[in-house]
């Protein structure tokens, strides 16, 4: 009797794994910030140097609303290197100066995106770039009975869904865990692994943020999860070096990821 093909449970980050949204994030954050500082931010788009500085800092971004604060720091004359050196401290100071709470900034950021999409949906989509081959192989994985795909993202789910549909990927809404869940990715991974239908499945968590992989590695109940760094995203060279030195982690080039995702096989291909 031929043994059953194991199920591959894919848990994918979105920004930095599936889609490069750095320039859209900066532009959306600018639109949100114009409602906070209308006298200072009079232009409809961020200055080119500010947007370039934000893209340089994008690897430090953890959640979308932080982009508003990062742009504020850059427009106030802070260099990307200075922001990087004291990222959380400077963001906390800037947040306090706004007089707003984190939930208020999250809503402000989401509302700015909603208004942009309503006014110019094609322009909003055009600010994104999907990594080569990823939408096609993601769609193929959804047709594979031996693969199950989830998206774990700090982006709000409605924007993730819209982008996936635009790329031809029909992922069910219940497979997308967005910012609204208020849950950390390791917690979501543990919940997915505990589902009866995933018993015996091999789980692969693909993420470009080393901190997220570190958090998963620290959870004993996630010991059977393969932790895969996506170096084609926003991972810095230092992140890549640290991942390579960690026996719990793997670093796959994009070609290896797309080959494994489209095939859905239990053993990853040895693509260099």
pLDDT over 50 at 268, yes or no: no
pLDDT over 80 at 213, yes or no: yes
Residue 1 lies in a domain: no
Structure tokens at 75: 């427009």
Per-residue pLDDT, averaged over 211-231, amounts to 95
Residues 14 and 144 in one domain: yes
CATH code at position 229: 3.40.50.1000
Q: Note the pLDDT of residue 7.
A: 86
Q: Which of 126, 157, 184 is the last residue of a domain?
A: 126
Instruction: Give the single-character DSSP code of 171.
Output: -
Range of the domain at 83: 22-126
Residue 271 lies in a domain: no
Residues 141 and 234 in one domain: yes
pLDDT band at 3 (very low <50, low <70, confident <90, very high): very low
Residues 165 and 98 in one domain: no
Structure tokens at 218: 């620290």
pLDDT band at 112 (very low <50, low <70, confident <90, very high): very high
Per cent of the chain over pLDDT 70 is 94
- Predicted TM-score of the model (pTM): 0.89
Residues 249 and 150 in one domain: yes
Q: Note the pLDDT of residue 1.
A: 31
| Sign of CA pseudo-dihedral 171, 173, 178, 183 | negative
Residues 151 and 56 in one domain: no
Q: Note the pLDDT of residue 170.
A: 94
Residues 174 and 84 in one domain: no
CA distance 110 to 118: 12
Instruction: For tokens 């943020």, name the residue.
Output: 209
Residues 150 and 16 in one domain: yes
Q: Which of 68, 100, 126 is the last residue of a domain?
A: 126
Residues 256 and 242 in one domain: yes
Residues 169 and 256 in one domain: yes
Per-residue pLDDT, averaged over 22-33, amounts to 97
Nearest to 60 by CA among 48, 41, 43, 74: 74
Residues 26 and 118 in one domain: yes
The answer to whether the beta carbons of residues 46 and 185 sit under 8 Å apart is no
At a CB cut-off of 8 Å and minimum separation 6, what does 260 contact? 204, 252, 268, 269
pLDDT over 90 at 267, yes or no: no
Q: Which of 108, 126, 144 is the last residue of a domain?
A: 126
Mean pLDDT, all residues of the chain:
92
Nearest to 262 by CA among 133, 134, 137, 131: 137
Residues 197 and 69 in one domain: no
CA distance 245 to 97: 40
Q: Note the pLDDT of residue 200.
A: 87
Per-residue pLDDT, averaged over 216-243, amounts to 94
Q: Note the pLDDT of residue 266.
A: 41
Structure tokens at 219: 């959870």
Cβ count within 10 A of residue 100: 16
CA distance 32 to 105: 8
Total structural domains in the chain? 2
The answer to whether the beta carbons of residues 160 and 176 sit under 8 Å apart is yes
Of residues 266 and 233, which shows the higher confidence score? 233
């Amino acid at each position: 009797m031929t043994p059953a093909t194991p199920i591959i449970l894919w848990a994918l980050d979105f920004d930095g794994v599936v889609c490069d949204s750095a320039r859209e994030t900066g532009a959306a954050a600018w639109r949100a910030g114009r409602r906070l500082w209308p006298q200072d931010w009079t232009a409809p788009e961020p200055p080119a140097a500010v947007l370039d500085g934000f893209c340089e800092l994008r690897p430090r971004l953890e959640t979308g609303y932080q982009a508003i604060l990062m742009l504020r720091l850059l427009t106030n004359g802070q260099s990307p290197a200075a922001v990087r050196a004291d990222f959380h401290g400077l963001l906390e100071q800037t947040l306090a100066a706004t007089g707003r709470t984190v939930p208020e900034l999250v809503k402000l950021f989401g509302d700015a995106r909603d208004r942009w999409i309503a006014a110019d949906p094609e322009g909003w989509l055009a600010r994104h770039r999907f990594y080569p081959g990823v939408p096609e192989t993601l769609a193929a994985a959804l047709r594979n009975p031996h693969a199950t795909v989830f998206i774990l993202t700090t982006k709000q789910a409605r924007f993730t869904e819209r982008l996936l549909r635009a790329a031809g990927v029909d992922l069910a809404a219940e497979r997308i865990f967005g910012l609204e869940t208020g849950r950390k990715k390791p917690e979501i991974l543990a919940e997915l692994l505990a589902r009866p239908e995933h018993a015996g499945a091999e789980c692969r968590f693909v993420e470009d943020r080393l901190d997220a992989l570190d958090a998963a590695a620290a959870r004993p109940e996630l010991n059977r999860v393969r932790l895969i760094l996506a170096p084609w995203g926003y991972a810095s060279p230092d992140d890549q070096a640290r991942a390579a030195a960690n026996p719990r982690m793997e670093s796959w080039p994009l070609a290896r990821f797309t080959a494994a995702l489209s095939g859905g096989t239990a053993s990853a291909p040895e693509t260099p």
